[in-house]
Structure 1
């Protein structure tokens, strides 16, 4: 189910030994960065039929991801500090290039997915529950008070009793599932979240997702019907990636990616404001041309990031989106003249005595298959009419992202209901029926909870 790679633990270190004040870190970085030779020459690149003048951040990105992964490997091999000569990477914490290697992802894989029943619905429930709070301490508190976490034993009142006794925050500050507000009628946010999980489980969402062939389709189904109760932001995409570590799913992470605010900001710093609307194409360009630019910008072949020996070197679309977010943080210190919404990199890095693990889902150990070949049939008539295969996602009310029959996710198009052919109206009707079913499920649970509270 997962492959564990052995390693030598890093020698013990105390936080005090490596703690530095934020002011001293900034001063040290500024002094060292002044020694780095800067190149002001812009790189001309072209994607989506548009030419862009890339800033120095473009070349820095390839050097950043290579060095950040080398830091992971040095720590994994048990090497002592310093793990890098880069003053910014040494001073501030940055997540791994490969998301699966981050602490929470490794924890989910080993302690949430692998631990417990491997039944599809039980494992699905555990991942939903962990991602809701995205906090290891909350998960372990639930285990201490409830024993094994199972869907068959789920009871809202029991979970309320346990979570209400938590001393401190039950949520992590980042990457939690979008909050449904008071959609289910509860004042406590976690109760609304738990009711949302209850609805997902009752609708047998796991079975539907298992039938889907593409990550983009799974993400679209997950967000179906939620526009009315909360904003489906990127954190739903993080949930899909967590689910993809389960042995029950195996979506390619190299076909499509949700563009988040961090990666979008980084791309705008790289290519300027004209890249707006071309962000996904920019990431495809980076994916397709990465080996050319790794070589051009001085990254040795052996230092090109590689998840594990069984996988070929290089980054998938998901890896690129993930690392662009971190590169944007890096740019705040390296290129302060490239303005963005945020200017602080973060708090100084403090080494922790935590094991560095490298556990990979077994279904990830084969090299990603090349993109499937699609038949791409011609239009049905002289009016460029194509046949719709299915609706992927509702962009806004009355506007749908549609998949064309014989074409892949890259060619999906946003089409208004008014512009869909008469033959596609049945697909729209099915989509609306599923939305109504979800709305009815919400109302049913609200009614049940109101009755319980009045007893």
Structure 2
């Protein structure tokens, strides 16, 4: 039986409401200053993702610039390569650097050794990997013959994914969970990354699965769930996320919160998973005595100089106001 920790769980619902209100205020006012968008000092001071994963800056760049910009130039194999290569580093500036040096990235011009040399030069000046995900570079398969972590990831991408057999399996996968299973069998790709990459590939037109059909809880989401629930009994963390989705309207009414969704699209399991992770961070300040794992929030909010002109996967059929 699920036992909710009421005093913590209500902040999960609150976070979703207030963070979404900030999104709409910023989108409507084109205002960068968080303090003018919310009276919540925690949300003003610290960095939090959007309620909807697709609205975050890196996801928006992926959708607009990597997937849908000149998409007719790319065959499905190109699309898979572009999405996974971008997401391995998960940094906009790394992708821009590579395309400036290589031109439009396609399978035909994917030279892992040359790209590795380019990144070897790049890493002398600045990071090439995002700090958002923990990217391991240690595995017995790649214990010799490689110096840099990016070399190993590029070789893994080229040999373990971008071969005809795996590409065909990806394109012919019948569910989000099957796509996840294909990816998790690759070196370096654990459960969390396999799920994230499956969602990213699902933004394209070559794959189309319901985001509510499968979820995998990451470490941050697990911490958030442990704070919001006293006991989850026999249920998995993924079950808790699905339970949250199924009972969202009940809990909003119970705690007195409202929510303006994304142009008619309700948050899906990936979004609710992310919100548990963000609630864990929020509660580190709001309820500091409720300790599960990390004790402080590391990243402060920093305003960006450029606005996001939002684009969502056309297959979602969202009508922007």
- 3-state DSSP class of the match of 1:344? coil
Corresponding position of 2:41: 87
In structure 1, distance between residues paired with 2:312 and 2:166: 25
Tell me how far 1:305 sits from its aligned partner: 4.1
Corresponding position of 2:146: 186
Identify which of 288, 293, 304 aligns with 1:336: 288
Bigger radius of gyration: 1
Identify which of 263, 287, 312 aligns with 1:308: 263
In structure 1, distance between residues paired with 2:301 and 2:117: 36
Corresponding position of 2:8: 57
Identify which of 162, 184, 188 aligns with 2:118: 162
- 3-state DSSP class of the match of 1:152? helix
Tell me how far 1:256 sits from its aligned partner: 1.7
Corresponding position of 1:221: 182
Corresponding position of 1:317: 269
Corresponding position of 2:21: 70
RMSD between aligned alpha carbons? 2.1
Q: What are structure 2's unaligned runs of at least 5 residues? A: none
1:350-384 CA distance string (max 9 Å, x none): 222121332110112279xxxxxxxxxxxxxxxxx
Q: State whether structure 2 residue 151 is matched by structure 1 residue 196.
A: no
**More helix by proportion, 1 or 2?**
2
Q: State whether structure 2 residue 231 is matched by structure 1 residue 270.
A: no
Q: State whether structure 2 residue 258 is matched by structure 1 residue 297.
A: no
Aligned length: 309
Superposition map of 1:209-248 within 5 A:
209-224=170-185, 226=186, 229-230=187-188, 232-248=190-206
In structure 2, distance between residues paired with 1:263 and 1:148: 36
State the TM-score, normalized to the length of structure 2: 0.90
When residues 182 and 143 of structure 1 are mapped into structure 2, their CA distance, relative to the original with a 3 A threshold, is farther
Q: State whether structure 2 residue 302 is matched by structure 1 residue 350.
A: yes
In structure 2, distance between residues paired with 1:141 and 1:269: 41
Q: What are structure 1's unaligned runs of at least 5 residues? A: 1-49, 368-455
State the TM-score, normalized to the length of structure 1: 0.64
Q: State whether structure 2 residue 317 is matched by structure 1 residue 365.
A: yes
Tell me how far 1:254 sits from its aligned partner: 0.6
When residues 176 and 270 of structure 1 are mapped into structure 2, their CA distance, relative to the original with a 3 A threshold, is closer
In structure 2, distance between residues paired with 1:177 and 1:251: 26
Corresponding position of 1:207: 168
Q: State whether structure 2 residue 91 is matched by structure 1 residue 135.
A: yes
Tell me how far 1:128 sits from its aligned partner: 1.2
Tell me how far 1:150 sits from its aligned partner: 1.4
For the 8 Å contact 2:10–2:255, the answer to whether it is kept is yes
For the 8 Å contact 2:3–2:231, the answer to whether it is kept is no
Tell me how far 1:206 sits from its aligned partner: 3.0
For the 8 Å contact 1:131–1:177, the answer to whether it is kept is no
When residues 176 and 110 of structure 1 are mapped into structure 2, their CA distance, relative to the original with a 3 A threshold, is farther
Identify which of 59, 82, 92 aligns with 1:105: 59
